[in-house]
């Protein structure tokens, strides 16, 4: 949480300070945008949120001071400029923890109990059941997109956002999988999840990440590839979605 006295102090230095509640809401928007699309620079955030660079930097300084965000290299598709690279920010470990559900620790404890008394296989089965419930719910939401993988990916990101995953769809970028025997990258998209409500659980029990990846393949109709995960210490979960690939047969 941000300290009230720091918030008040920052507002006092502004020539036209906004009400404290407004400042807090704006700072929440900055944090949420970084969670969804980081690494982002002050200029990126100002453009996306319709704020002045000075206002954004004030919020960034407070978030960094309180350990909510940290500096990270700009994303590969960020614009290049001469001179010293602009500072870019991602959510820190403390920032992710602050967005966790109050039940995250309880859930992790319950799964440790299940693993101890029923075996790790029971946890794996629970992970698959949990993901199957998401698949059933998301299937209905993605139905309007038909077989269009790109459209389905956008709807999947929207559904994940509703469940607190801070998801977005980006171009595949330069580090795309290359088929054996060719140097031509596979065209595709990248599903990014800047926050994971079950990160604490997935860190201890990777079966949740595996089951989620399988569900994405089923929902999108193509075999996706998980590239990075928050559970493994990355600042974002990324999943490559090929747009030119053999389709996956849906589960009955």
Query: CATH number of the domain that 88 lies in?
Result: 1.10.10.10
| Rounded CA separation 116/129 (Å) | 19
| Rounded CA separation 169/192 (Å) | 6
| Rounded CA separation 232/225 (Å) | 15
Q: What is the pLDDT of residues 208-250, one digit of tens each?
A: 999 999 999 999 999 999 999 988 888 889 999 998 765 676 6
- Residue-range definition of the domain harbouring residue 58: 4-99
- Helices 42-49 and 53-65: angle between axes, nearest 10 degrees: 120
Determine the pLDDT at residue 1.
Answer: 36
Q: Are residues 28 and 46 located together in one domain of the fold?
A: yes
- Determine contact, residues 137/151, Cβ cutoff 8 Å: no
Tokens for 245?
């690939």
Determine the pLDDT at residue 190.
Answer: 92
| Rounded CA separation 39/187 (Å) | 23
> Which of residues 50, 83, 99 is at a domain's end?
99
Q: Give the pLDDT band (50/70/90) at residue 6.
A: very low
Q: Are residues 110 and 8 located together in one domain of the fold?
A: no
Per the structure, the count of domains in the chain is 2
> Which of residues 49, 77, 99 is at a domain's end?
99
- Helices 120-142 and 207-220: angle between axes, nearest 10 degrees: 30
Q: Are residues 16 and 115 located together in one domain of the fold?
A: no
| Rounded CA separation 58/42 (Å) | 10
Q: Are residues 40 and 113 located together in one domain of the fold?
A: no
Determine the pLDDT at residue 48.
Answer: 84
Residue 252 lies in a domain: no
Q: Are residues 93 and 212 located together in one domain of the fold?
A: no
Q: What is the pLDDT of residues 46-94, one digit of tens each?
A: 888 888 888 888 888 888 888 888 887 655 544 444 555 578 888 777 7
List for the chain the helix, strand, coil content (%; round to 5): 55, 15, 35
Residue 250 lies in a domain: no
User: Average of pLDDT values for 194-210?
Assistant: 87
Q: What is the pLDDT of residues 130-165, one digit of tens each?
A: 999 999 999 999 999 988 999 999 999 999 988 888
If residue 101 lies in a helix (H) or strand (E), which one and from where to where? none
| Rounded CA separation 91/235 (Å) | 7
Residue 60 lies in a domain: yes
| Rounded CA separation 99/94 (Å) | 9
Q: Are residues 95 and 162 located together in one domain of the fold?
A: no
Say what the pTM is: 0.62
> Which of residues 51, 73, 99 is at a domain's end?
99
Q: Are residues 138 and 53 located together in one domain of the fold?
A: no
């Amino acid at each position: 949480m941000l300290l009230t006295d720091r918030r008040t102090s920052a507002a006092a230095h502004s020539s036209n300070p906004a009400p404290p509640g407004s400042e807090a809401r704006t700072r929440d928007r900055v944090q949420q945008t970084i969670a969804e699309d980081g690494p982002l620079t002050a200029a990126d955030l100002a453009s996306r949120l319709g704020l002045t660079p000075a206002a954004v930097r004030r919020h960034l300084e407070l978030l960094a001071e309180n350990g909510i965000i940290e500096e990270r290299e700009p994303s590969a598709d960020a614009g290049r400029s001469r001179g010293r690279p602009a500072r870019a920010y991602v959510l820190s470990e403390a920032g992710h923890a602050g967005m966790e559900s109050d039940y995250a620790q309880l859930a992790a404890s319950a799964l440790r109990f299940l693993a101890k008394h029923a075996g790790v296989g029971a946890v794996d089965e629970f992970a698959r059941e949990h993901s199957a419930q998401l698949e059933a719910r998301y299937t209905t939401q993605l139905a309007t997109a038909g077989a269009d993988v790109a459209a389905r990916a956008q709807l999947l990101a929207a559904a994940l956002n509703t469940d607190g995953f801070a998801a977005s769809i980006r171009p595949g970028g330069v580090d795309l999988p290359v088929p054996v025997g060719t140097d031509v990258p596979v065209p595709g998209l990248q599903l990014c999840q800047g926050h994971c409500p079950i990160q604490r659980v997935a860190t201890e029990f990777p079966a949740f990440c595996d089951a989620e990846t399988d569900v994405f393949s089923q929902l999108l109709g193509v075999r996706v590839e998980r590239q990075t995960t928050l559970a493994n210490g990355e600042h974002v979960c990324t999943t490559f979605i090929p747009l030119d690939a053999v389709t996956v047969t849906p589960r009955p």
